[in-house]
Amino acid sequence: MIDCKQYSDLDIVKLILSGDIDAYYCLVEMYKDKLLRYIMRITQIYEEEAENILQEVFIKAYKNLYSYDHSFSFSSWIYRITHNMVIDYHRTHN
């Protein structure tokens, strides 16, 4: 396991893309609480359902990490994925 605090988001992304799957844990740990609060704030749903959305966000981010444009912040990228997943949630539940 790597020491997450010594790496930037971009460094961690590069580690993951080079095959270090354990580095993905760092991104999850760094963003899970922030993204969960964001989901709950904009959806007004129960935490359990928000956690389901969050899990899907991290799965989608992992599968599409190769498409992340390093010239932009990782934070913006993962928040955009989160926002789009919330929109998808509302489409299927309304």
Write out the residue range of the structural domain in which residue 72 sits. 4-93
Distance CA 77, CA 79 (A): 5
Question: How far, in Å, CA of 62 to CA of 44, rounded?
Answer: 26
The C-alpha angle 75, 30, 48, rounded to 5 degrees, equals 95
* Token pair recorded at residue 54: 């969050």
State the distance between the two ends of the chain, measured CA to CA, in whole angstroms.
Answer: 42
Residue 1: which pLDDT band, with cuts at 50, 70 and 90?
Answer: low
pTM given for the model: 0.90
Q: Would you state the pLDDT for residue 41?
A: 93
CATH number at residue 70: 1.10.1740.10
- Domain tally, the chain: 1
- The whole-chain average pLDDT of the chain stands at 92
